[in-house]
């Protein structure tokens, strides 16, 4: 569930107040690019599919590394002498690292290229996963997991930009839906795989298993081609090179200050990022809480607890299918009518109704006298709703702010998303212990119901909010 890059080639940058500045180095007006043999949009269909499969698999492994640890928490607590709250910290710090990594990797990918960043960060990710497998105290485990998250994050963040390099804006919607599905699947397959691992091996094997997945996925990157236009055609760039001072100013403004400014001052960004981040936080709340709930209510073994994640996985797959069908049979049939950005919110509007319903059903039906399959179906509905909200909302942000400010809107979303993903696991256990599954899940359902009106409000008042925005430009 990871949208950290604007899908555009524009490099127009302004100050934090939204004023326009001179563009940085650009080759956007090179007329021969459409027929240049280096253009990745001219690659064969087979090569494009292979590239999408590779970067999606990398995103899968990187997010799986976050959650595969969760089923081994009890073993970690017993071996290292930790409380339940302390055993959650390696998940929290991994997600914190996932939030920080793109701040460095994103600008590097724009100067060095996508492939170079992959080739640097992926071995480092593997190295720190290895360190977590060998850790013998909490500090070492946290540090290694944090740094593994830092170096995993570019594998998620840059993938969307890589896919956008391969397709025109009219062609990239379905490949991106497929891609955004795979990191979410990785986060859900992690506990499923980890549950089986800790049932037969120790918690350390969750890290070894991540490495076993990483090798076959990362090695093919050595044989891939660069896809970023500005790196492929450096000699055609006739504009002056930027100084270190300009580069630092660009980094601070574009990747740090402006996203935070937009998060505070832009209602579209503020409300949608809060809503999208809530979905992401719920995902990790499920990762932490579901095994414990099914253990206490149904006396499930670790293996059976792991199998409950199949319902969440099915929900993600159904949401992906729903969004692809929506793209094929609605958006493309209206392509010639130049729809407003608000038309991208239809999927989120459906999801906003289903999310509180799924959470409420789970809260009221997870009890010993109800067959376990019923709350699993409720979780399926919940995850269907979550992804149906997340992907269309991200598309709406990019459609609203365009190539010029879309990256900053996505950066604001990334910052808040990983902040909640890091914090939700910390208090989920306390909520369950203090309130019980029924009351805890009803609170989640109430929050989801309170926020359900956000996509509907954007559909109604989005044009007026965009008209008043400093950042929305005509492109």
- What's the pTM? 0.86
Mean pLDDT, range 3-18, rounded to an integer: 39
* pLDDT greater than 70 at residue 434: yes
Confidence of residue 7 (pLDDT cuts 50, 70, 90): very low
Please state whether 389 falls in left (phi above 0), alpha (psi between -120 and 50) or beta: alpha
Structure token pair of residue 181: 């599905």
For the segment 203-231, the average pLDDT, to the nearest whole number, is 89
Rg of the chain on CA atoms, in Å: 22
User: Which of the two residues, 445 and 395, has the higher pLDDT score?
Assistant: 445
Tokens of 149: 């998250």
What mean pLDDT do residues 130-153 have?
A: 95
Kindly tell me if the per-residue pLDDT of 247 is higher than 70: no
> Would you say residue 30 has pLDDT above 70?
no
Q: How far apart, in whole angstroms, are the C-alpha atoms of residue 153 and residue 141?
A: 18
Domain ranges of the chain: 31-227+250-468
pLDDT tens digits for 167-193? 887 787 888 898 889 999 999 999 999
Each residue's pLDDT tens digit, 399-408: 888 756 776 7
Architecture of 31-227+250-468 per CATH?
Up-down Bundle (1.20)
Whether 167 and 232 have beta carbons less than 8 Å apart is answered as no
- Does the pLDDT value for residue 218 go beyond 80? yes
The Cβ of residue 29 has, within 10 Å, a number of other Cβ atoms equal to 6
pLDDT tops 50 at residue 321: yes
Q: Tell me: pLDDT of 325 over 90.
A: yes
Answer for the pair 358, 385: CB distance below 8 angstroms, yes or no.
yes
DSSP string, 323-342: HHHHIIIIIGGGGGG---GG
Find the DSSP H helices in 6-83. 45-67, 73-80
CB proximity list for 31: less than 8 A, separation 6 or greater = none
The pLDDT assigned to 222 comes to 87
Neighbours of 33 (CB within 10 A): 18
Cα distances (Å, whole numbers) of residue 407 to 58, 161, 258, 268, 363 = 22, 11, 10, 14, 37
So what's the pLDDT on residue 2? 44
pLDDT greater than 90 at residue 26 = no
Structure confidence at residue 236 as a pLDDT band (50, 70, 90): low
pLDDT of residue 69: 94
């Amino acid at each position: 569930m990871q949208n950290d890059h604007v899908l555009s080639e524009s490099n127009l940058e302004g100050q934090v107040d939204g004023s326009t500045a001179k563009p940085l180095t650009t080759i956007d007006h090179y007329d021969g690019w459409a027929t240049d043999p280096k253009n990745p949009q001219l690659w064969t269909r087979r090569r494009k599919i292979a590239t999408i499969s590779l970067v999606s698999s990398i995103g899968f492994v990187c997010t799986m590394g976050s959650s595969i640890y969760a089923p081994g928490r009890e073993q970690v607590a017993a071996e290292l002498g930790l409380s339940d709250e302390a055993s959650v910290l390696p998940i929290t710090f991994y997600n914190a690292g996932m939030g920080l990594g793109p701040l460095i990797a994103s600008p590097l990918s724009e100067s060095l290229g996508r492939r170079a960043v992959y080739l640097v960060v992926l071995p480092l990710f593997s190295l720190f996963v290895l360190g977590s497998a060998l850790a013998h105290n909490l500090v070492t485990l946290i540090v290694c997991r944090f740094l593994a998250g830092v170096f995993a994050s570019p594998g998620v963040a840059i993938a969307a930009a890589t896919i956008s390099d391969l397709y025109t804006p009219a062609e990239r919607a379905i490949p991106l839906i497929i891609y955004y599905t795979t990191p979410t699947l990785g986060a859900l397959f992690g506990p499923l795989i980890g549950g089986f691992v800790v049932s037969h091996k120790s918690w350390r094997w969750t890290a070894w298993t991540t490495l076993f997945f990483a090798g076959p996925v990362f090695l093919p990157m050595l044989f891939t081609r660069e896809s970023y236009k500005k790196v492929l055609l450096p000699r055609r760039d006739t504009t002056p090179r930027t100084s270190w001072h300009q580069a630092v100013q660009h980094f601070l403004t574009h990747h740090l200050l402006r996203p935070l400014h937009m998060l505070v001052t832009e209602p579209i960004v503020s409300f949608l990022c809060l809503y999208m981040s809530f979905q992401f936080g719920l995902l990790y709340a499920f990762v932490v809480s579901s095994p414990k709930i099914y253990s206490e209510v149904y006396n499930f073994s670790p293996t059976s607890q792991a199998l409950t994640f199949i319902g969440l996985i099915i929900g993600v797959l159904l949401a992906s299918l729903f969004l692809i069908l929506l793209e094929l049979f609605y958006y493309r049939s209206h392509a010639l009518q130049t729809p407003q950005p608000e038309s991208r919110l239809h999927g989120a509007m459906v999801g906003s109704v289903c999310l509180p319903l799924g959470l409420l059903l789970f809260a009221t039906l997870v009890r010993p006298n109800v067959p376990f399959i019923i709350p699993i179906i409720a979780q399926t509905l919940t995850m269907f709703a979550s992804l149906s909200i997340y992907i269309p909302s991200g598309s709406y942000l990019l459609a609203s702010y365009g190539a010029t400010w879309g990256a900053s809107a996505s950066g604001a979303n990334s910052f808040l998303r990983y902040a909640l993903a890091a914090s939700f696991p910390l208090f989920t256990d306390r909520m369950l212990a203090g309130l019980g599954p029924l009351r805890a899940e009803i609170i989640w359902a109430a929050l989801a119901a309170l926020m359900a009106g956000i996509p509907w409000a954007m559909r109604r008042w989005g044009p007026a909010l965009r008209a008043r925005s400093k950042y929305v430009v005509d492109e």
